[in-house]
Amino acid sequence: MKTLFLLFISVMCALGSMAQKLKAADRKQLQVREDSLKAYADSMINARSAGKRFLSDSNFVRSFVRALKTPYSFDYPFDSVTSVSMLYPADSTFRIMTWQLKKDEYMYLQKGAIQMRTTDGSLRLFPLFDASMFTAKPIDSVRSRKNWIGAIYYKVIQKEWQGRKYYTLLGFDGFTVSSNRKWMEVLSFDPQSGEPVFGGPYFVVSPDSAKKSQVQNRFSIEYKKEASTTFNYSEDKDMVIFDHLISESDEPNRPETFIPDGDFEGFQWKDGKWVQIKKVFTEVPDEFKNVDPLLGNAPADDAIRDKEGNIDEKKLEERSRKNDEKSREKVKPKPKKTGGGNQ
């Protein structure tokens, strides 16, 4: 026990000393860059024209990479850029950053990057390229960063099996004009190249029918756009818990009609796999209920982080809906003036 305690103290001291290596002058410069990044990030979603949204995305990516090239930028949180999800695993060996670009009224493009912690403060960055629109069967493949299934991640869960670390990502995707998706994805790193690997035979899924359990490379739920669903990790139960969905119109082949029915399913980590549990309980745990978000001076309704700084999945859904409504309002034609004279 004493040995573990001393190991914990040494690790925390090492991390603390690394955080101190971000120079005051560099921190000040990053704060200036952060203001520009915040404006570009807002424009990627809310600009009226597609051309301006894409230009803002291009400016955001270039500015972000320049900022990340600052020595020891890993220790700078970019807290005010609230539309970018920035998650760290328990071991803080990397952070995964995800955001979205509004392509048109019907589609969002997911963007992302993984920044690795380095001992000398240099930048080691893996850009992520969303291939969702070119993928007919996304649950059947192991993927690299070059054909990633895009999502805005709101939770990372660190697990180990046979001496290797696995990082389970929970994410949101405003999939179509009528439905959303939530993803459960296992991220690992290739032992030889260090490259990120998305997916693998880590999900033992039990169909609703009498079919035998199936092994999948990732897992998702798809549901009606207006529905609000739970899909998150319970620390108390050490399980990923999510709503059981049914079709509100008795059309099981149309996910855009799916809504929660009050029951909950889950996944438990067993022997290096997430094994599905078909029925967990019938009341959502307190830790899943919304709390008042708090992020700097941002209005509560606009923040997507809770009091502990974690991404709130339900706020993420609500933000997506508000962005849709705001952008549609902006493109409505203005009423023409009537009457004659000098009006």
Main-chain phi, psi angles of 268, to 5 degrees: -115, 140
**What is the H or E stretch that residue 276 is in?**
strand 273-277
pLDDT of res. 213: 84
pLDDT of res. 284: 59
pLDDT of res. 310: 58
Would the pLDDT of 215 be above 90? yes
For residue 65, give the 3-state DSSP assignment: helix
CA dist 273 and 269 (Å) reads 6
Tens of pLDDT, residues 251-287: 999 999 999 988 899 999 999 999 999 888 756 566 6
Percent of the chain, pLDDT > 90? 59
For range 232-248, the mean pLDDT: 93
Contacts of 169 (CB under 8 A, 6+ apart): 87, 96, 151, 153, 155, 156, 157, 183, 184, 185, 186, 187
257-289 burial, b for 16+ CB within 10 Å, e for fewer?
bbbbeeebbbbebeeebbbbbeebeeebbeeee
For range 220-230, the mean pLDDT: 92
Tens of pLDDT, residues 34-89: 999 999 999 988 888 999 999 999 999 999 999 999 999 999 999 999 889 999 99
Would the pLDDT of 124 be above 60? yes
Would the pLDDT of 90 be above 50? yes
Comparing C-alpha atoms, which of 133, 140, 124, 67 is closest to residue 106?
133
What's the whole-model pTM score?
A: 0.78
CB 148 within 8 A of CB 128: yes
Contacts of 185 (CB under 8 A, 6+ apart): 149, 151, 168, 169, 170, 171, 198, 199, 218
| Averaged pLDDT score across all residues of the chain | 81
Tell me which of 15-19, 81-85, 220-224, 250-254 is least confident. Answer: 15-19
- DSSP 8-class letter at 177: S
Q: Between 297 and 330, whose confidence is greater? A: 330
CA dist 119 and 310 (Å) reads 26
- Per DSSP, the residues of 237-254 read TTEEEEEEEEETTS-TT-
Would the pLDDT of 6 be above 90? no
